């Protein structure tokens, strides 16, 4: 199955309103219907079963969900030792998946290249619609964000009219589990703080997230609403981090414009892209509650055990996120500022 699109399909403003997580655009319907069909066929390692969900008490509104199946039944992550580890054809990669795992191919109508972009299931889902975007799947690219793949990830965000849809990326040594270029996408039907939190200008198109435990860098869709411009700016930063051997995570979400005075507005009038420089996960101690990858950095905590779920507090999460990001953020901020002053 192919899903073809062009710029006229992009949706630049959405509203939370009273919409259900299972609603939205033609893209949303395509993703949700093919995902549910795969679930009914038993393609996943387990049927999604979030036993409990809650918002942790405190000012950050972290969402905790108990998902023991993901902790127990997911494929063992690949051992990652370097941010620039080469692609290995002998290890598991997305050319080895069963065809039943492919939901659809994604193609721009004006694209004359032979690149084949795929959207496939995440066989160990953590939320409804959990899928993987595989840019140029058969090119066997390592898990390093490219400008082209960032643009593709931003474009699928613009194809969805459902503000519950999220896109994320874990670098190597940033809890990526497979060294084959991929982005996560899924629906999380909670209003998250990072959709409207205030940010501070750093330089050029780059802003910083400071009033949050995980300090990081932020970009938004520019005034010309061009995904290519946004992708170019984000890539400038991620390429700098790769060149300096700094692990990182990327989050793409609907949200309010940085200049908006209505921080709690239900209107989402831009796309925000967050980039966190973070401590390497290579050799990191495993946490009983959760591992701080992209979902946890945004405040969505997929908790491994029932004991950890019931005892988890905002203070514990704040401590973990601060530990992961504060040092690397401080080390690179001056250089990032200079990077965007050019």
Q: Are 93 and 87 within 8 A, CB to CB?
A: yes
Token pair for 105: 């191919």
Token pair for 97: 């998946």
**Using 50, 70 and 90 to split pLDDT, how confident is the model at 24?**
confident
**DSSP calls for 208-262:** EE-SSSS-EEEEE--TT--HHHHHHHHHHHHHHHHHTT--EEEEEEEE--TT-S-
pLDDT at 219 over 60: yes
Rounded Cα gap, residues 313 and 127, in angstroms: 21
Maximum C-alpha span of the chain: 53
Q: Which domains does the chain have, with CATH numbers?
A: 2-341 (3.30.428.70)
Q: Is 117 marked active-site?
A: no
Q: What is the rounded end-to-end Cα distance, in angstroms, of the chain?
A: 44
Question: Angle, to 10 degrees, between the axis of helix 227-243 and the axis of helix 314-341?
Answer: 100
**Using 50, 70 and 90 to split pLDDT, how confident is the model at 110?**
confident
Of the candidates 75, 97, 222, 101, the one whose C-alpha atom is nearest the C-alpha of residue 154 is 222
Rounded Cα gap, residues 151 and 93, in angstroms: 22
* 44-56: pLDDT as tens digits: 999 999 999 999 9
| Unique residue bearing structure tokens 């530990």 | 323
Supply the pLDDT for residue 78.
85
**Using 50, 70 and 90 to split pLDDT, how confident is the model at 119?**
very high
Supply the pLDDT for residue 261.
58
Supply the pLDDT for residue 20.
67
pLDDT at 17 over 90: no
Q: Which comes out higher in pLDDT, residue 23 or 109?
A: 109
| Unique residue bearing structure tokens 């193609």 | 107
Q: Are 265 and 196 within 8 A, CB to CB?
A: yes
Token pair for 91: 């290890």
* 230-273: pLDDT as tens digits: 999 999 999 999 999 999 999 999 999 998 755 557 889 999 99
* 286-296: pLDDT as tens digits: 666 788 999 99
Supply the pLDDT for residue 266.
81
Mean pLDDT of 144-171: 98
Q: Are 137 and 117 within 8 A, CB to CB?
A: yes
- Spot the catalytic one: 117, 180, 182, 248: 182
User: Does the model's pTM come out above 0.75?
Assistant: yes
């Amino acid at each position: 199955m192919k899903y073809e699109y062009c710029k006229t399909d992009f949706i630049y403003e959405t509203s939370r309103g009273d919409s259900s997580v299972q609603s939205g655009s033609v893209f949303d319907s395509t993703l949700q219907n093919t995902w549910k069909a795969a679930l009914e066929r038993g393609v996943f390692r387990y049927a999604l079963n979030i036993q409990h969900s809650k918002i942790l008490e405190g000012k950050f509104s972290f969402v905790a969900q108990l998902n023991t199946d993901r902790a127990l039944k997911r494929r063992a992550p690949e051992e990652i030792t370097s941010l620039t580890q080469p692609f290995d054809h002998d290890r598991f990669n997305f050319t080895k998946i069963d065809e039943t795992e492919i939901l659809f191919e994604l193609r721009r109508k004006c694209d004359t290249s032979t690149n084949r972009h795929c959207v496939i299931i995440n066989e160990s889902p953590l939320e409804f619609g959990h899928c993987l975007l595989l840019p140029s799947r058969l090119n066997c690219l390592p898990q390093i964000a490219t400008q082209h793949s960032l643009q593709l990830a931003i474009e699928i965000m613009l194809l969805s009219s459902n503000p519950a849809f999220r896109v994320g990326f874990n670098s190597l040594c940033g809890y990526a589990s497979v060294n084959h270029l991929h982005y996560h996408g899924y629906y999380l039907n909670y209003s998250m703080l990072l959709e409207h939190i205030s940010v501070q200008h750093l330089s050029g198109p780059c802003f910083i997230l400071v009033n949050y435990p995980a300090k990081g860098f932020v970009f938004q869709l520019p005034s010309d609403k061009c995904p290519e411009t946004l992708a170019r700016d984000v890539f400038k930063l991620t390429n700098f981090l790769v060149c300096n051997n700094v692990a990182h995570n990327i989050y793409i979400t609907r949200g309010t414009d940085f200049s908006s005075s209505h921080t709690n507005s239900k209107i989402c009038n831009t796309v925000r892209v967050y980039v966190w420089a973070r401590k390497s996960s290579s050799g990191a101690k495993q946490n009983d509650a959760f591992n701080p990858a992209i979902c946890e950095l945004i405040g969505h905590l997929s908790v491994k055990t029932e004991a950890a779920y019931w005892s988890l507090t905002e203070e514990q999460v704040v401590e973990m996120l601060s530990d992961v990001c504060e040092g690397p953020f401080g080390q690179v901020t001056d250089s990032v500022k200079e990077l965007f002053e050019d």
